């Protein structure tokens, strides 16, 4: 090993990206397998990431007027059967309870895979008049979908998420609200907090959520060029309103059917963050969602060093920085630095005797590895600006990768070739459902349909964006 270099603890991404991902989960102490196949234990550092994500998304959801509720974990099986397409879509993933309290249940109950049916039943009860509309609800909960090929954070039998459910008087109102959630909540959060650019568009009919008339998606490119679906928003039309009799009396006294929506994001975003930003040294966490934005490391065990490091943490906290002190001087500095690199803390502030002799500390950026000396009395003022610089650089890096690894294509064969390393953009009229089937046979899919300028197509494929102008984004996915 070259003198002064620390040994590598992770598989290189270029060598084996899935193995690298598993190594990061393990070495950075993010998650572990649960005792039941397909379940997941989220360890404290990763749960801290999820809490930051949850708080930011929750704030945005509430800004749209929605309120939080909590609904039961168990759903009567008969509820799901009332919307045929919905139950058919989820049937292979359902976990069904047939016995409880030592007895066989009169009616089996399903462990919720999603809650459209329960929200539908309750909205039917709670909505009577046009004055009750729109009804805008959201819940933070766990759901269960029995996975045959589980992968931590990406596909697990049980996962955490938020699911919003709304009811409106008109289709236009429902569509506008679903689009607002998709752009102002999901896309804004992913770009401005996770530093991940996403492509927004419509799912094809084949990929649409079971029971929906339109599904919008946020698709992100991971470090290996594959796509990850980060969030979805669904216009449910009147399908669930008819199945659960969700209606209201309008201003003229006539009974009308509601138009409903649902939308969700989950702990899958933690996996997306890892794979979108991580490198061969581990995680790289965007500063705005980092549980620890700056770690202050006392290099040596002497009173001046540890006292100064502790004072810096207090000064950073006073400046609004989430800072942590590492004074574990019985452990070698290299080992501790490697640990914080693995965890992707945006800034590492090193306080050693030599630094203090010159009246400064060394600040290392996790995103670029750059180091610089900063005057001791200027650290608290410099760090917030540095954190913003890190966020901007990470977002630009992700945007560059997305642009560089997206190719224009005109046939399914060209799209397949581009999907080996990234995404393809192909006119939907040249691909169509036959081309989509051809792609699917090679484990490639249409991730979404966009307008030529990258927007979500309008509700009815209006003259502004007719269906034959739509662009298909094609790629391999997780």
Q: What is the pLDDT of residues 363-392, one digit of tens each?
A: 999 999 999 999 999 999 999 999 999 999
Of 277, 301, 324, the one marking the end of a domain is 277
Residues 376 and 449 in one domain: no
Given a contact cutoff of 8 angstroms between Cβ atoms, the answer to whether 290 and 345 are in contact is: yes
What mean pLDDT is predicted for residues 274-287? 98
What mean pLDDT is predicted for residues 102-110? 96
Q: What is the pLDDT of residues 289-299, one digit of tens each?
A: 999 999 999 99
**366, part of any domain:** yes
Of 360, 389, 418, the one marking the end of a domain is 389
Given a contact cutoff of 8 angstroms between Cβ atoms, the answer to whether 411 and 434 are in contact is: no
**329, part of any domain:** yes
**5, part of any domain:** no
Residues in CB range of 237: below 8 A, 6 or more apart = 171, 212, 213, 259, 260
Question: Where does the pLDDT of residue 287 fall: very low under 50, low under 70, confident under 90, or very high at 90 and above?
Answer: very high
**For residue 263, what is the domain's CATH number?**
3.30.930.10
Task: State the pTM of this model.
Answer: 0.94
Q: What is the pLDDT of residues 14-28, one digit of tens each?
A: 999 999 999 999 999
Determine if the peptide bond prior to 134 is cis (ω within 30°).
yes
**For residue 437, what is the domain's CATH number?**
3.30.110
What mean pLDDT is predicted for residues 216-220? 98
What mean pLDDT is predicted for residues 413-433? 96
CA-closest candidate to residue 291, choices 40, 34, 126, 52? 52
Of 213, 245, 277, the one marking the end of a domain is 277
Question: Where does the pLDDT of residue 426 fall: very low under 50, low under 70, confident under 90, or very high at 90 and above?
Answer: very high
Q: Which helix (H) or strand (E) holds 397?
A: helix 379-404
Residues 298 and 273 in one domain: no
Q: Would you say residue 169 has pLDDT above 80?
A: yes
Distance, CA of 348 to CA of 323 (rounded, Å)? 10
Residues 230 and 379 in one domain: no
Residues 185 and 271 in one domain: yes
User: What pLDDT is stored for residue 2 in this prediction?
Assistant: 42
Share of the chain above pLDDT 70, in %: 96
Q: What is the dihedral of CA 369, 372, 376, 378, to 10 degrees?
A: -90
Q: Would you say residue 4 has pLDDT above 60?
A: no
Residues 124 and 165 in one domain: yes
User: What pLDDT is stored for residue 467 in this prediction?
Assistant: 67
Mark residue 63 as left, alpha or beta (left: phi above 0; alpha: psi -120 to 50; beta: remaining): alpha
Residue for token pair 């949850």 = 54
**Between 86 and 393, the higher pLDDT residue:** 393
User: What pLDDT is stored for residue 3 in this prediction?
Assistant: 40
Number of domains in the chain: 3
Residues 63 and 114 in one domain: yes
**459, part of any domain:** yes
Residues 383 and 238 in one domain: no
Q: Would you say residue 219 has pLDDT above 70?
A: yes
What are the percentages of helix, strand and coil residues in the chain, rounded to 5?
Answer: 40, 30, 35
**396, part of any domain:** no
Residues 292 and 254 in one domain: no
Q: What is the average pLDDT score of the chain?
A: 94
**444, part of any domain:** yes
What residue numbers bound the domain in which 340 lies? 287-389
CA-closest candidate to residue 296, choices 328, 266, 274? 328
User: What pLDDT is stored for residue 1 in this prediction?
Assistant: 37
User: What pLDDT is stored for residue 91 in this prediction?
Assistant: 80
Residues 420 and 438 in one domain: yes
**For residue 328, what is the domain's CATH number?**
3.40.50.800
Q: Would you say residue 192 has pLDDT above 60?
A: yes
**8, part of any domain:** no
Residues 367 and 466 in one domain: no
What mean pLDDT is predicted for residues 423-440? 96
**3, part of any domain:** no
Question: Where does the pLDDT of residue 462 fall: very low under 50, low under 70, confident under 90, or very high at 90 and above?
Answer: very low
Q: What is the pLDDT of residues 127-156, one digit of tens each?
A: 999 999 999 999 999 999 999 899 999 999
Angle between helix 44-63 and helix 268-277 axes, rounded to 10 deg: 110
Residues 344 and 266 in one domain: no
Residues 242 and 370 in one domain: no
What mean pLDDT is predicted for residues 37-51? 97
């Amino acid at each position: 090993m070259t003198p002064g270099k620390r040994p590598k603890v992770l598989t290189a991404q270029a060598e084996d990206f899935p193995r690298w991902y598993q190594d990061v989960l393990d070495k950075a102490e993010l998650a572990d397998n649960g005792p039941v196949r397909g379940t997941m234990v989220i360890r404290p550092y990763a749960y801290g990431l999820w809490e930051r994500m949850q708080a930011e998304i929750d704030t945005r959801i509430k800004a749209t007027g929605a309120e939080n509720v909590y609904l039961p974990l168990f759903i009567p099986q008969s509820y799901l059967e009332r919307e045929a397409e919905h139950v058919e879509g989820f049937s292979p993933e359902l976990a069904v309870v047939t016995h409880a309290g030592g007895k066989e249940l009169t009616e089996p109950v399903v462990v919720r895979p999603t809650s459209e049916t329960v929200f539908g039943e309750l909205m039917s009860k709670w909505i009577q008049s046009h004055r009750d509309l729109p009804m805008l609800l959201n819940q933070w909960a766990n759901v269960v979908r029995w996975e045959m090929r589980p992968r931590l954070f990406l596909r697990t039998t049980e996962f955490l998420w938020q699911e919003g459910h709304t009811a409106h008087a008109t289709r236009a109102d429902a569509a506008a609200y679903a689009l607002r959630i998709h752009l102002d909540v999901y896309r804004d959060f992913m770009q401005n907090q996770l530093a991940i650019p996403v492509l927004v568009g419509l799912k094809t009919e084949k990929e649409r959520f079971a029971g929906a008339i339109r599904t919008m998606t946020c698709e992100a490119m991971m470090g290996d060029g594959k796509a990850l679906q980060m969030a979805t928003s669904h216009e449910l039309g009147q399908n669930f309103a008819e199945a659960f009799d969700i209606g209201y009396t309008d201003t003229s006294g006539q009974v009308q059917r509601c138009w409903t929506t649902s939308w969700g994001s989950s702990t899958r975003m933690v996996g997306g963050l890892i794979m979108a930003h991580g490198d061969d040294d581990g995680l790289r966490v965007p500063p705005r969602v980092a549980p620890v934005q700056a770690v202050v490391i006392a290099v040596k065990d002497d009173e001046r060093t540890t006292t100064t490091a502790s004072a810096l943490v207090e000064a950073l906290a006073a400046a609004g920085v989430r800072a942590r002190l590492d004074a574990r001087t019985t452990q070698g500095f290299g080992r501790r630095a490697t640990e914080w690199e693995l965890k992707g803390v945006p800034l590492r502030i090193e306080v050693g005797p030599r630094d203090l002799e010159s009246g400064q500390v060394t600040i290392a950026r996790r995103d670029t590895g750059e180091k610089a000396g900063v005057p001791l009395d200027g650290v608290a003022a410099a760090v917030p600006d540095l954190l913003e610089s890190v966020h901007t650089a990470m977002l630009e890096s992700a945007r560059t990768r997305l642009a560089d690894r997206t190719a224009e294509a005109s046939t399914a064969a060209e799209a397949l070739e581009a999907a080996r390393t990234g995404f393809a953009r192909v006119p939907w009229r040249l691909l169509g459902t036959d081309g989509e089937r051809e792609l699917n046979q090679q484990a490639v899919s249409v991730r979404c349909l966009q307008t030529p300028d990258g927007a979500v197509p309008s509700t009815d494929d209006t003259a502004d964006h007719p269906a034959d102008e739509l662009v298909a984004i094609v790629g391999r996915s997780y």
